[in-house]
Each structure stands twice: as C-alpha cells, then as structure tokens.
Structure 1
Amino acid sequence: MTQVKARSAPQAASAQAGDTLVEIRNLEKHFPLSGDFLEQLRFKGGRLVRRQEFVHAINGVDIDVRRGESLCVVGESGCGKSTVARMVMGLLRPSGGEIRYDGERIDHLSPRQLLPYRRRMQMIFQNPYASLNPRMTIQQTLEEPLRFHHPDWKTPQVRDKVAEVMDSVGIDPEWGKRFGHEFSGGQRQRIAIARALAVDPEFIVADEPISALDVSIQAQVLNLLMDAQETHHLTYLFITHDLAVVEHFGTRVVVMYLGRVCEVAETHTLFSTPRHPYTQALLSAIPRLEDDRPDYIRLEGEVPTPVNLPSGCVFHGRCPHANDRCRREVPELIAAEGTRVACHGVEEGRL
C-alpha cells in the first residue's frame, strides 16, 4: 500500500513564516427555511404574523490562511467546513463578514469582477464522479479553463500546456481521447487536480478530495497534492473529516463545531496538546492498535440543531466542563500556549 509522505521540517517552517494570503473575518452564512414571503405568513392569536427560520450554518468564523501552508479545516458533518470553502471560492454569498484575498476584499464582488481571481484560486471537489463533464473528453476538460482564461492562446500553446499538466500529475497522454466514465475514482481525481493546476493557481481549496476514494488510492492522491504544492508553490485550504490525513498533510489545523471555530493550532501542537474539550474528544476517537482505550472521551447528549442554536458556547450541552458562563456567553478565540482556543474553561484556568 502506498504510504503518505511525511512533511519535512523546512517545509513546515517556511509555511509558518508566510504572510496571510486569505483573511476571513466574522463570516456568517444563514440559509432560509421559510420559503418566499407568502409562505412565511401565519395566523397567530387572530393576527397575521411573519415567521422566518434559518439554518445558521456559519456563525462568526475568523480564519487566516498563510501563503505556502496547508491549512486543514476539520469537524464532524454539518459543522460548516464545506460552506466556508464555498464562500471563499465565491460559490456562495456570505450573509455577513468579510473575505479578503491578498489584501483585497472579494466577498462582495460580482462574477465579472471575480474573474481576475479565478486564475489565482481553484477548487478540487469531493466527488470525482460528479465533477467531470460526461460529454467532454479529458483533453477538452483540461483545455476548457485554458481557453477561457487565455483567449489569446493558440491551439498548439494550449495543447502544450495540457500535456505539461497531465505529465505533472502522472496522467498518460492517451487518456485525453477518453471520457470521464472510463476511469476509476482515483484516476478521475488526478484529472480534477490537473484541471485545477492548468491555469497556474497559487491557492487551491480542496473540499474532502479523497473521501470518495478507496483507502488504497487515498495516499497516492495525497502524495500527488503534496508534490504539486512543492512544484507549483501552492497554498491549500484543505477540508476534511479524517484526522489521520490531517496529521500527515496539514501544517496548521482549524477545528470547527456547529458553525464556529473551536481551536486553531499548528498540527504537531494540536495532536500533542489539544486544549478545547471538543478537540480532545475528536482526537481520542482516532482508532489505535491498543486493546484498551483508557483515554477515550465519550460525549454525552445530542448535537444541537443549527436552526435553533444554543445560547453561549455551542458546545456547552455536550461538554463535561461547562458552567453557567458557558451557557450564557459566547467564548472568543484567545491565545493559549501555542494555540488559539475558544473556551471559557481554558481562559479561566479550569482546563
């Protein structure tokens, strides 16, 4: 089985020293559940009232992505990590907050105004079976972004660039004549990576790019992404729920729960000394070879619904260390021994 390559210390150090490429401040996203205006009207107590309900997917998220790093965003399903990725790429419009790319605000731009950023920012989607157009050959798929972003390029120049990108991700040039359905999941994801690299981006959002692949193929794709980062000097925002992948791939980690950031730390710091109770529970759930699991943390209670968010800390209903302040007051991210953590218990010295 292919092993995931370990990151070298110089790589991690250079990523840590980079300046901020993507800056996310107080980001919010609310999805309406109530339908249009007429569907929101109800009779209550003999009066006509308007009732609106929202899914509070993202609630005041602050994230910085440093140039040259692989920032991993982790959390259980429904925590909002993919929603953050799609807002960064302009696929969803934020309900509040700001997103800045290389110092320039981009969250309020129109599709036409975003065009100059499209070459610099690319996305690799989760499902390689759905992200490739079944009516286009692989050659056409890889040529399409080049012809769109470089309308002045002649056909030989486009084909030379496609051949170069195919070679860089280990794609046989003969694949260009075939269609996406003729390939396995791992091969399709290589094609998707080649498509993202075709326009020479500097920033790539990877939304769970290996979760739909067999375990035997996942390491190959991860190694390919790491090689591409070295060769093309890329910055990654990597969305995943697989903590084993984070430990090998990430330079820093953002832990999310119910639309909020719980903890941000360098990868080795997070895995060696997690501070937030939710982070500790996540890491304790990683499968180990030992028969007994004395350090396993079993969380009690149900995950709250994002339609009716709990007051105070969103994790207080499942946290064994919660007190009255946790139930009333939303914690802010504070610096704590090499990490940033949103926890009243850590702030007060109880944890």
Structure 2
Amino acid sequence: MSSTATSPAPQAADPLLSLRGLEKRFSLSGDFLEQLKFKGGKLVREQKYVHAINGVDLDIQRGEALCVVGESGCGKSTVARTVMGLITPSDGEIHYGGERIDDLSSKALMPYRRRMQMIFQNPYASLNPRMTIQQTLEEPIRLHHPDWSPQRVRDQVAEVMASVGIAPDWGARYGHEFSGGQRQRIAIARALAVDPEFIVADEPISALDVSIQAQVLNLLMEAQQERNLTYLFITHDLAVVEHFGTRVAVMYLGRVCEVAPTATLFATPRHPYTQALMSAIPRLEDERPQHLRLQGEVPTPVNLPSGCVFHGRCPHANARCRSEVPTLIATDEGGQVACHGVEEGRI
C-alpha cells in the first residue's frame, strides 16, 4: 500500500513529550590546540564529530509505552539521556506538556525532574555503594519535597518499597548485598518514589538473567497501570517490544526509520531496515518469511553518508535515496515511515 500523506500522522491529543529535529554531536577533536593541523603548508583547524542522533522527530502520548529499537550505536541511549537533560542537545527542541524544556536552567528544570525519572541499564552501577537502600530511596524525596517531615518521607519510602515487592528489612542494607534483579527493583522504586508521570527506561533488563527479565517487565507494566505512567523504553530485544510496547520507533544511525503501533509494525513493517529486523526474529512457524540478509557494513557515525543513511545497504535504493534525506510520512496503516521507496510506491 502506498503512503497517503506527506506529513506526520495526526494524533488524538497533544503529546506529553515531543522531540523536533533533535541532534547530538560529540567532538572527537579535543581542545582548540589539538584541532590545529598543518596541511599543504598552512595551519588549519580540523574538527571531527560523532553524529549520534540526527534530526529525530518523536511524539509520546500520555499513558503509552513507546519502545525505541535499533542495533548498537544507533543513538537509542543518546536520545534517552538527551530527553532527561543528562546530555545537552546540539540542535532541535524538546517539549514536555507543551512547554519547551531543553533551554531551561537547572533551577527552572527542577519541577520537570520530579515528573520525569529514569531507570538505567546497569543496576550494578546505578546505586551509590556508600548509601543504604533506605537512604537511596529517601534522597530524591527529600530533594523534591524539602518541606516534608521525616515521618512522611519514611512513609513514602515504605509505600514505594511495598509496591515493587521490596521487603522492609532491605532498607538497612547496601546495594552490593543484592542480586542484579533485586538491584533493578530498587532502581525502579527510586524512580517511583517521587510519583513521576513519565519514565525513561534505558535497556532496564538487558543486564539481567532471562528468568528475572520477565519479573522486572511485569513490575514495570503493573506500575504503569496503577500509576498511569508513560514510558520511553529503550531496548534491542524485539521480543520485549512485542510484549511491552504500545508503539515502536525504529532507529538506524541516529535517524528514525519508522514509527508504528506494535501490532502493525510486527505484521506489516514498511521500511526495508525494519523488514530485515523483523525477518531476523526466530520463529517456530514453517511458513515464516525468509530471512533478509543486508549487504555491506553499517557506516560510521563520524562520516555520515549523504541522503538516506540506509541507502548503502538497501536493495531498493536509487539516485534519490543517495542524495536526499527522507522525512517521516504517514502510511495507510497508521504509522510513519522515512523512505523514498515507500513514498514512491516502489516498496
């Protein structure tokens, strides 16, 4: 089916979080003196950058779980950390609840930091080894509610510990005394302690045993239902996406290739890269589509290819793909795809 429009798909309501033209470049050139080079007998300044994310446009609706997927190095975690203000964007805008937040001062950001919390990938590194679990959970509450009495803070900690299945006696112990799954429960409790409405989860189960992953996922889903949470969920595990996500955004080399409802993306992927990803999922059915093998190597984010970043590995690429950057267009299935081939009806 061909695309029906050249603008993003209409949304039923204003998004909770909106990213527009988001870019992040990391310098490889060092300081000013290290950038000076002699070339052809002349002193020139040479700057090199890693283009981690390149013009990302995303909307996240209230109450949904938007999963961002893609291979390592595609910019998923950079998007997550930029949204949370841990990394300053090089360009673009971030709007939360209709207000732009990427240009706010640290003081002006404080109310948003209570509403937005993050769960990190590595539960072994995200807990302070010098603080007990009680202190770890009390710290964000005291920061955002300095007027609360000590008893009210302890009551809030007890409530959030019970909600994620943490025993009361864990509070007096330290992070190194727990397993990875237990530490991630503590990290989830810390994120929930200030009653946020939006949580960024950066591959929160990838460091855990498979047997523990389902428990943590179910915990996140229960918290979403009970607290009406909105998730930006970063992962590379497509099985997790199928189980957890409301919608899916597929990234490749810092750009969003496709965004669609989860069931739609798994049933009818439109972008050639998404089709290759879906074909790589192990299936038990005999009649599953043949695995699509991509040719070539992933380009370096230091020297981005011209046009579509996927054109060097795409079997449908033409001259337009090699020269013109595609933008997200709406599709008949209710998603969005950045592909000239889909727009032209070739795919």
* TM-score, normalised with respect to structure 1: 0.94
* Mapping of residues 323-338 of structure 1, within 5 Å: 323-337=318-332, 338=334
> How far apart are the structure 1 equivalents of 2:42 and 2:12?
61
Instruction: Return the alpha-carbon distance in structure 1 between the equivalents of residues 293 and 106 of structure 2.
Output: 46
Matching of residue 313 in structure 1 with residue 281 in structure 2: no
Residue 145 of structure 1 corresponds to 140
SS of the aligned residue for 1:308 comes to coil
Report matched runs for 1:170-189 at 5 Å.
170-189=165-184
SS at structure 2 position matched to 1:119: helix
For residues 174 and 14 of structure 2, what CA distance do their matches in structure 1 show?
41
Alignment partners' CA distance in 1, 2:49 and 2:106: 26
Q: Distance in 2 between matches of 1:19 and 1:239?
A: 22
Q: Which portions of structure 1, spanning 4 or more consecutive aligned residues, are displaced by more than 6 angstroms?
A: none
Letter in 2 for 1:273: T
Corresponding residue for residue 59 of structure 2: 64
Matched pairs, number: 336
Of the three residues 277, 280, 288, the one matched with 2:283 is 288
Counterparts of 2:203 and 2:182, CA distance in 1:
16
Aligned to 1:210: 205
1:155 and 1:140 mapped to 2: Cα distance? 12
Superposition RMSD in Å: 1.1
- Show the 5 A alignment for 1:51-130: 51-130=46-125
Report % sequence identity. 81
Partner of 2:344: 348
Alignment correspondent of 1:230: 225
Q: Which has the higher contact order (CA 8 A, sep 6+)?
A: 2
Please say if residues 161 and 168 of structure 2, whose CA atoms lie closer than 8 Å, have aligned partners that are also in contact. yes
Matched with 2:242 is 247
Where does the alignment leave 5 or more consecutive residues of structure 2 unmatched?
1-10
For residues 81-132 of structure 1, the C-alpha deviation after alignment (integer angstroms, 9 at most, x for no partner) is 1101101000000000000000111101122221111110000000000000
How far apart, CA to CA, are the structure 1 residues paired with 2:324 and 2:175? Answer: 51
Instruction: Flag structure 1 segments of 5+ consecutive residues without an equivalent.
Output: 1-15
Would the aligned equivalents of 2:279 and 2:289 in 1 still touch at CA under 8 Å? no
> In the alignment, is residue 194 of structure 1 matched against residue 202 of structure 2?
no
- Give the conservation status (yes or no) of the 8 Å contact 1:54–1:307: yes
Call closer, same or farther: CA 1:99–1:48 in 2, change over 3 Å.
same
TM-score (norm 2): 0.95
Q: CA deviation at 1:154?
A: 1.0
Distance in 1, Cα, partners of 2:111 & 2:119: 19
Shift of 1:19: 3.4
Task: Provide closer, same or farther for how the CA distance between residues 247 and 294 of structure 1 changes in structure 2, counting only shifts above 3 A.
Answer: closer
Q: Matches of 1:264 and 1:321 in 2, distance apart?
A: 20
Counterpart AA for 2:338? A
User: What is the Cα deviation at residue 289 of structure 1?
Assistant: 2.5
Letter matched to residue 15 of structure 2: T
Tell me how far 1:211 sits from its aligned partner. Answer: 0.3
Structure-2 change in CA distance of 1:226 and 1:285 (3 Å): same
- 2: distance between equivalents of 1:228 and 1:17? 24
Q: Distance in 2 between matches of 1:294 and 1:261?
A: 24
- In structure 2, the CA distance between the partners of 1:234 and 1:244, relative to structure 1 (3 Å rule), is same
Identify the residue that residue 12 of structure 1 maps to in structure 2.
none
Q: Match of 2:40?
A: 45
Counterpart CA distance in 2 for 1:19 and 1:52 is: 40
SS at match of 1:118: helix
Residue 35 of structure 1 pairs with residue 35 of structure 2: no
1:18/1:68 contact within 8 Å kept? no
Alignment-derived partner of residue 5 in structure 1: none
Q: 1:13 maps to what in 2?
A: none
1:213-239 alpha-carbon deviations (Å, 9 max, x no partner): 000000000000000001111000000
Q: Deviations over 1:257-315 (max 9, x none)?
A: 00000000000110000000000000111112357865200111000000000000000
Matched residues in 2 for 1:195 and 1:103: separation?
Answer: 26
Deviation at 1:55, TM superposition (A): 0.4
